[in-house]
C-alpha cells in the first residue's frame, strides 16, 4: 500500500491510499475556498450525563447534488472537487463541515447546570472508490482490504491526537438513512469523549467479567455460533449473526472469531476473509426486497485509553427498512424512552438473509 499525504486549498489534510507504488498524487487543489469554520460547541446534559455537539455551520453542507456535481468524484477539467486527482483508489480527507475539529473559536457558558467546552476532535470522509455509481457491496476483496488498511491507519493516527478518546469508523447508506452525498463513502469521527453506547457496552462487559470471570463479547459470539439459528454467514476468521435481541428489523453483527481490540490488530488473512464475507452479507440485504437496502455500518473498537482490556472489535450493521415499502421509524418509545420495539423476529430475519 502506498500512502500519500497532501493538503486541500483551505489547509485540510488529504490522504491517498493506493495499491500501486507508482501512483502520482501531485495534482494540487486550485479552488478558492472560504476559511474553515471553528469547532463546534460541546454542551453537557446533566440529566443523561452525556455531551451534545452543537455545530451550526453544518446547516450549510452540500445536500444531494446531481452526479455531475458530486464533490467526492475525481476532479476533471471544469469540475474541481474535494479530490484533486483525476482518479484514485481510496481517498480520506478532513470533512469540510465537521462535527469536531481543532480550529479555535469563541465559547460562552450558557448558565444553568450545563457546561460548554470546545468540540475538539476530527472528522474525516473516506471515499471507498472513485466510481460514483458503485457501492461497498460491489468492491473487490482487494479494494475492501485497502479500505480496511485505510481505516486502521486513520484509527492509529487519530488516536494519537490530543484530547481524542474514541475513534469511530462508519458508513451511512441510502436516502432513507439521511445521507447528503450518494457517492460510496463513509466517515470517521475522533470524539473528545467516550460515547454513551460505548460506555454502556464496556460497563456491561465489566460487570459480566466481575460476575463470571468471562469475556462478554467472546461468550456472546460463542453462544451464537453454537446455537446457529441466527448465524447468517461464517468463515474461519469471521462470523455474521443477527443478535437475539435485535433492535432493528434487519440487524447483523460481524465479529472476528478471535478477540482483537481494534482494526489495527487484524492480520492480513483476517482482512482478506472479511471482504468476501461482509460484501456477501450486504448483497443479501439488497436481495431481500429487490431494492437497495439503506443501512448504517458501525465499527465498535476499543477506546484510546479506557476499557481496552474489555473491548472486542465488531461491526454492527442495521437497516431501517422492515418491508419493501415500509420503514422502521424511531417514534415515541424509541425516541423518547430509548425502548426499542422490533417488528421482525430475529430468527426470521436471519433465515430471510440466509435465503436471499
CA dihedral 124, 126, 131, 133 (to 10 degrees): -80
Residue 209 to residue 311: CA distance in whole angstroms: 12
| Three-class SS state of 149 | helix
Residues 273 and 286 in one domain: yes
Residues 13 and 132 in one domain: yes
Residue 38 to residue 27: CA distance in whole angstroms: 27
Residues 62 and 106 in one domain: yes
Residues 179 and 140 in one domain: yes
Residue 311 to residue 263: CA distance in whole angstroms: 12
Cα-trace Rg, the chain: 21
Which letter does DSSP use for residue 35 in this model? P
pLDDT (tens, 9 = 90+) of the chain, 356 residues, equals 999 999 999 999 999 999 999 999 999 999 999 999 999 999 999 999 999 999 999 998 999 999 999 999 999 999 999 999 999 999 999 999 999 999 999 899 999 999 999 999 999 999 999 999 999 999 999 999 999 999 999 999 999 999 999 999 999 999 999 999 999 999 999 999 999 999 999 999 999 999 999 999 999 999 999 999 999 999 999 999 999 999 999 999 999 999 999 999 999 999 999 999 999 999 999 999 999 999 999 999 999 999 999 999 999 999 999 999 999 999 999 999 999 999 999 999 999 999 99
Cβ(218)–Cβ(226) below 8 Å? no
Residues 172 and 214 in one domain: no
| Three-class SS state of 160 | coil
Distances (CA, A) of 238 to 81, 184, 190, 205: 37, 24, 26, 21
Q: What is the number of structural domains in the chain?
A: 2
pLDDT score at 117: 96
Q: Mean pLDDT in the chain?
A: 97
Residue 213 to residue 164: CA distance in whole angstroms: 30
Residues 125 and 225 in one domain: no
Cβ(99)–Cβ(33) below 8 Å? no
pLDDT score at 199: 98
Looking at 146, 172, 193, the residue that finishes a domain is 193
pLDDT score at 287: 97
Residues 22 and 170 in one domain: yes
- The active-site residue out of 183, 185, 300, 314 is 185
Looking at 163, 193, 223, the residue that finishes a domain is 193
pLDDT score at 154: 98
Cβ(278)–Cβ(144) below 8 Å? yes
Domain residue limits at 308:
197-355
pLDDT score at 298: 98
* C-alpha closest to that of 179 among 336, 65, 265, 332: 65
Cell triple for 150: 485505510
CATH number at residue 29: 3.30.428.10
N-terminal to C-terminal alpha carbon distance within the chain: 35
**Alpha-helix runs per DSSP H in the chain:** 141-159, 196-212, 216-227, 268-289, 337, 346-355
Which letter does DSSP use for residue 76 in this model? B
pTM of the complete model: 0.97
Residues 211 and 265 in one domain: yes
Residue 203 to residue 191: CA distance in whole angstroms: 19
Looking at 193, 217, 251, the residue that finishes a domain is 193
Tell me the β-bridge partners of 315. Answer: 254, 299
Catalytic annotation present for 237: no
**Predicted confidence (pLDDT) per residue in 167-205, tens digit:** 999 999 999 999 999 999 999 999 999 999 999 999 999
Which strands make up the sheet holding 116-119, listed edge to edge? 50-54, 40-45, 116-119
Cβ(219)–Cβ(211) below 8 Å? no
Cell triple for 17: 491510499
Residues 166 and 205 in one domain: no
Write down the residue that cell numbers 424511531 correspond to.
330
Residues 181 and 218 in one domain: no
Residues 244 and 340 in one domain: yes
Residues 14 and 156 in one domain: yes
| Three-class SS state of 23 | coil
Residue 34 to residue 264: CA distance in whole angstroms: 35
| Three-class SS state of 239 | strand
Amino acid at each position: 500500500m502506498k500512502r500519500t499525504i497532501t493538503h486541500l486549498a483551505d489547509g485540510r489534510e488529504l490522504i491517498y491510499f493506493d495499491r500501486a507504488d507508482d501512483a502520482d498524487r501531485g495534482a494540487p487543489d486550485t479552488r478558492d475556498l472560504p476559511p474553515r469554520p471553528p469547532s463546534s460547541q460541546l454542551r453537557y446534559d446533566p440529566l443523561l450525563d452525556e455531551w451534545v455537539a452543537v455545530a451550526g455551520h453544518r446547516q450549510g453542507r452540500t445536500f444531494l447534488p446531481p452526479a455531475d456535481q458530486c464533490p467526492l468524484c475525481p476532479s476533471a477539467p471544469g469540475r474541481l472537487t474535494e479530490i484533486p486527482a483525476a482518479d484514485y483508489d481510496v481517498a480520506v480527507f478532513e470533512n469540510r463541515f465537521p462535527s469536531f475539529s481543532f480550529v479555535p473559536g469563541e465559547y460562552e457558558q450558557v448558565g444553568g447546570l450545563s457546561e460548554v467546552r470546545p468540540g475538539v476532535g476530527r472528522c474525516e470522509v473516506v471515499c471507498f472508490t472513485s466510481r460514483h455509481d458503485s457501492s461497498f457491496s460491489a468492491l473487490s476483496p482487494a479494494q475492501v482490504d485497502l479500505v480496511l488498511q485505510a481505516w486502521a491507519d486513520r484509527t492509529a493516527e487519530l488516536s494519537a491526537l490530543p484530547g481524542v478518546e474514541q475513534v469511530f469508523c462508519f458508513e451511512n447508506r441510502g436516502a432513507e438513512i439521511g445521507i447528503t452525498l450518494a457517492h460510496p463513502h463513509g466517515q470517521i469521527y475522533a470524539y473528545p469523549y467516550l460515547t454513551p453506547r460505548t460506555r454502556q457496552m464496556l460497563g456491561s462487559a465489566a460487570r459480566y467479567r466481575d460476575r463470571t470471570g468471562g469475556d462478554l463479547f467472546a461468550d456472546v459470539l460463542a453462544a451464537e455460533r453454537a446455537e446457529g439459528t441466527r448465524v447468517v454467514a461464517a468463515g474461519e476468521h469471521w462470523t455474521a449473526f443477527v443478535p437475539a435481541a435485535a433492535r432493528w428489523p434487519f440487524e447483523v453483527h460481524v465479529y472476528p472469531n478471535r478477540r482483537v481490540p481494534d482494526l489495527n490488530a487484524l492480520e492480513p488473512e483476517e482482512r482478506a476473509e472479511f471482504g468476501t464475507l461482509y460484501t456477501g452479507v450486504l448483497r443479501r440485504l439488497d436481495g431481500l426486497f429487490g431494492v437497495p437496502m439503506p443501512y448504517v455500518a458501525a465499527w465498535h473498537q476499543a477506546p484510546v485509553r479506557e476499557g481496552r482490556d474489555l473491548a472486542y472489535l465488531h461491526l454492527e450493521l442495521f437497516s431501517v427498512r422492515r418491508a419493501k415499502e415500509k420503514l422502521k421509524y424511531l417514534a415515541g418509545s424509541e425516541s423518547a424512552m430509548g425502548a426499542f420495539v422490533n417488528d421482525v423476529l430475529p430468527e426470521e430475519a436471519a433465515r430471510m438473509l440466509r435465503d436471499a
